[in-house]
Amino acid sequence: MGQPAKKQRRATYADLEAVPPNKVAELIRGVLHVMPRPAPRHANAASSLGADLHGAFQRGRGGPGGWWILDEPELHFPDPHAPGEIDALVPDIAGWRRERMPELPETAYFALAPDWICEILSASTEDVDRDEKMPIYAREGVRHAWLVDPIQRTLEVYVLGADRRWGPAVVHRDAARVRVEPFDAVELDLSVPWAR
């Protein structure tokens, strides 16, 4: 007769803190996800989009301002499946309307859900980004989500419904020039994030 399966220990925030600094780590439902730092095309897509949005929406240069736009912020949300535990997520880029978050927190993480997140997809992160993180972003009330694939050259735009479910994706491809919620006040040139 076989032995019963051993229950896997839930990872803790201490496990996340022990990850080497050259890795990106996230804690999702008690599972530690450790990924390599982004590859060049991934980093270029994130940097390009972040720069366009930061200038127009955080600094107010060529756009309305009124946002905090940050690269790789650490987000802490209560894990509803384990009281006293957290989910610690790190989107590639996130934004908060200043009316909701007038000042940056003093902590090394953000407990307030962003208004917008952007995940840059790669072969090593796509399943976690889509299947693990998107439901948590919806649960926490993030209103807008972008999934960017620099290899497929696509921008998927999602808006959260009143039922806390993502609406159908609006997909932009290749070198389109687009105005996309919640940053539709400026036009984005999608040829820039795909540059090689």
In contact, 34 and 23? CB cutoff 8 Å? yes
- How many beta carbons lie within 10 A of that of residue 170, not counting itself? 13
How confident is the model over 24-36, as a mean pLDDT?
Answer: 90
The amino acid present at 114, given as its one-letter code, is P
Give the tens place of pLDDT for each residue, 52-81: 999 999 999 988 999 999 999 999 999 998
Q: What is the mean pLDDT of the chain?
A: 92
Dist CA 51 CA 84 (whole Å): 36
Q: Helices in the chain by DSSP H: which ranges?
A: 13-17, 40-53, 126-127, 134-139
Complete domains list, the chain, with CATH? 38-189 (3.90.1570.10)
How confident is the model over 2-19, as a mean pLDDT?
Answer: 79
In contact, 38 and 71? CB cutoff 8 Å? no
Q: How confident is the model at residue 40 (pLDDT cuts 50, 70, 90)?
A: confident
Structure tokens at 152: 């497929």
The pLDDT of residue 112 = 98
**Looking at the DSSP assignment, which residues form a beta bridge with residue 70?**
94
User: What predicted TM-score, i.e. pTM, was given to this entire model?
Assistant: 0.91
The pLDDT of residue 104 = 96
Per residue in 13-49, is it b (16+ CB within 10 Å) or e — as a string? eebbeebeeeebbbbbebebbeeeebeebbebbbbbb
Check whether 5 has a pLDDT greater than 70: no
Check whether 183 has a pLDDT greater than 90: yes
